[in-house]
Each structure stands twice: as structure tokens, then as C-alpha cells.
Amino acid sequence: MIHNQATPLTFLEKTIAVLTGISLPLIFIGRTPMGAALIIAVLLYSFLPDRKQCFELVKGLIFTMPGYLIMAVFIAWTPNITASPIPLESLETIGRSLIFLVCAVLVWSAMAHDKRLADLALKSLLVSAVLLILLAVINLTFLPELYGLIHFDGWTITDVKSGFKSSASTAALLIPMVLWVGWRFKGPWQLAALMVTAGFLFIIYQTGSRAAMAGVIGLIVMAGLLITWRQKSWKLTTVMFVCAVASIWAILYWLQSTRGTPTNLPFELYLPHWLVDWHRQEIWQFALSAGEGFRWFGTGINAIDKLSGARDIIPGTNAGVLPFHPHNWMIEVLVETGIIGFTAMITAIAYKTVTMIRDYLHSGDNALLCAILVWAVFWTSSLFNFSYWASWWQVTFVTATAICLAARSDTTHD
């Protein structure tokens, strides 16, 4: 059921759309503003005049294959609580992830019910990104004191690059969205999208975030494969292939030429240090070893750093063995939820990815293409960065996905 497009949007509807749209770029000034915008948007949802119709859309999703698979994931995650050294925190993490997903579905339902809300959210995202990226570039180039002022540390010089490092992965994830907004609305929106994309790439370069670079590579590869597959043009295929190879080569060459390799490490490196740093490789080795005794149901969600030996110092260094989390979502989920939980999650991800790709190849809907590329960035960059259970990272992912899928022409299979 789609809202009557002749009826003007109410102030409440516009507020929900704008808050949802600006929430993602707000990460560039902090996680609190981002979270506040989304919390207000979700709370306002309960006052929508068409909330009953929106809720019907939500109910329609529950008894579908994606709905069944998601329920299976949360059920498969539950047994690891019994093995967790911090069972209440593990249970809280599971519940928190479920709440984020439900809130994203609620936002999706409002925008799917009236596509104008999705359009407004996308425009708000790009406009806010222009302003916030400009601010971030100023912080990173010639006015680092401004960063401290924005974060209530006073007019002081701080390590701005480290401060923006986590935001770099969000920048990579938002690239397909801002480019899609420019393509969708044409004119000045295209110029704004190109400017913001350049700003995102500048932030990724300045912070040296290898996780964000991995996300960009995932984006380039997936976009090249899907666009050439659908267009079936040899000329386009050749151009996309050359561009993809050149982009990936440039990134890898830059990494190799700017990253040294340490000597006298107390363990063997399985990958080049310039590609994956030695500490991250050591963390992965320890995590997989620690998980061997909890093979089927895992060590407990968000609890791997509480295992014996995790807080030890690596000989000859001042780095901890596993200070917080494995910095790889596959290893983290496999070790903490076991083979059962990991298999359930991989099945759900694979099913949704395949169905989105199939639907895009059939329909050519660019909203679907954007959603697929957001997924490509998220799952690729998450192989090297934050904990999968990090609240702000999960919220970024599900919110971006909700906006993209709400804007597609056919929302009956979301």
C-alpha cells in the first residue's frame, strides 16, 4: 500500500525523513549526535498518522524467508550465553542487535509506504554530507583545533586523523549512496555528490584506514561485476575492468610503499604486513586458537577478550594479545557464536545477497544496486576493522540498508 502522493507530507513525516537522512553523516562529528537523530526519528514513528499501514508492511516481512532466516540467527546465537564469561553482557548484545534491526525495519516501513520520505531522506543525507565533509576536511588540513572544540575538548590540537579513522569506514559505505542521490536527482545534486565523494576519499586517504580502503575495493569490484553483467556490453566491460584493476593496483601499491615490515616478531606472518598489520594477524591467530574449545556454540558474544590470555602482552612489544575484539567479523562471529551461530548468519547474508543481486539483474533498479554496494562495503571493510557488535557500526549498516530498500520500486520482497 502506497500513500496518496497528492497529499502533502506532514511536518512529522518530513522530520522523520530528515533526521534519518542526516543521521549517517553526523558520525563525522560524533556517535552521540548520530544516535540522537535516529532515536528521535524512531520515537516519532509511533505518532505517524499512517502507522497502522506501516505496521502491516512490517508484519508482512516477518513470515517470509528473510524473516525466518533472521529469527534462526538469533535463536542460534542464544546457546553461547551459557559459555560466556559475561552472560548478561552477551545477552544484552544480542538484544541490542535485535532492537537495532527492528528500528531499521520501522523506518523502512514508513519510507516504503510513502516513497517521498525516502527521497527526502536521501536529499537530506547529501546536503548534510556536503556540510559535514567540508568541516572534516578543514579539521584534517589546516584547523585541527576545531575538532577539539566540536568534541568539547576546547580549542586544542588533537590527533584528528585518529579521531576520523572510524569515520573513514562510514565514508566508504556512504559513497554508493551519495553517488546514487546525484544520479537520481540530477543537476546540482550530481555536482554535490561528486564533491562529497572526493571528500570521502580524501578522509580515507588522510586517515590511512586500510579497512575503509578494503571497503572501497569491495565497492569497485561489486559495482563492476553487476553493471557489466547487466549491461552485457563488451566496451563497458573492458572500461570497468581496466578501471577496477587500476584502482585496486593503485591502492595496493600505495599500501606497499607506505607500510614497513617489523622484524623479530615472536610469531609467523601469514599475510604481508603492508596488507594486514602484524598485530591484527596475531589477534586472528589467537582468536581462532581460543575458539577451538568452544567450536559449536562459541565463547559467548562480545566476550572473547575476557578469555584467558587475551589481555597478555606480546613478548618484545607493548601490544596486548587481544585487547578488545578480533578486528574481523567472520572470525569474531565464528569464535563467539560457534559453527552453529556462524552458519545461520552466513546463510541469512548469502540468501539476501543473492536475492538482491537476482532482483537487480532482472529489474535494473538502482536502489537495489545501491543496497548491494552498501553491503559490499560493510562486509568487506568489516573484515579488518571494528567489532561487528559495535552499536554505531551496526546502526549505520541497517539504517543505510533500510533507506536504500525503501526507495526501490518493488518493496514486497525486502
List, for residues 219-263, the tens digit of each pLDDT value. Answer: 988 988 888 888 777 777 777 778 778 877 877 777 677 666 565
- What's the pLDDT at 25? 94
Give the pTM. 0.87
pLDDT digit string, tens, across residues 338-356: 999 999 999 999 999 999 9
Rounded Cα–Cα distance for residues 391 and 394 (Å): 5
Total of domains in the chain = 1
Better pLDDT: 334 or 162? 334
Q: Is position 239 within any domain?
A: yes
What single-letter amino acid sits at 237? T
Q: Is position 300 within any domain?
A: yes
Q: Is position 354 within any domain?
A: yes
For a pLDDT cut of 90, what percent of the chain falls above it? 39
Residue 149 has which C-alpha cell?
Answer: 572544540
Q: Is position 356 within any domain?
A: yes
Q: Is the dihedral of CA 157, 162, 163, 168 positive or negative?
A: positive
Angle at 333 (CA atoms; ends 177, 286), nearest 5 degrees: 120
Distance of CA 270 to the CA centre of its chain: 27
Do 385 and 276 meet the contact criterion of CB atoms below 8 Å apart?
no
Coil, helix or strand for 179? Answer: helix
Rounded Cα–Cα distance for residues 227 and 240 (Å): 9
Q: Is position 41 within any domain?
A: no
Better pLDDT: 45 or 288? 45
> What is the DSSP annotation of 117-157?
HHHHHHHHHHHHHHHHHHHHHHHHHT-THHHHHHTTS-S--
Domain that holds residue 87: 69-97+209-391
Q: Is position 353 within any domain?
A: yes
Beta bridge partners of 320: 313
pLDDT digit string, tens, across residues 47-87: 888 777 777 777 778 888 988 999 999 999 998 888 888 88
Q: Is position 107 within any domain?
A: no
Classify residue 24 by burial, with Cβ atoms within 10 Å: 0-12, 13-18, 19+: buried
Q: Is position 104 within any domain?
A: no
Do 35 and 26 meet the contact criterion of CB atoms below 8 Å apart?
no
For residue 77, give every residue at least 6 positions away whose Cβ sits within 8 Å of its Cβ, in sequence order, or none.
94, 301, 337, 341, 344
Rounded Cα–Cα distance for residues 128 and 300 (Å): 39
pLDDT digit string, tens, across residues 104-113: 998 898 888 8
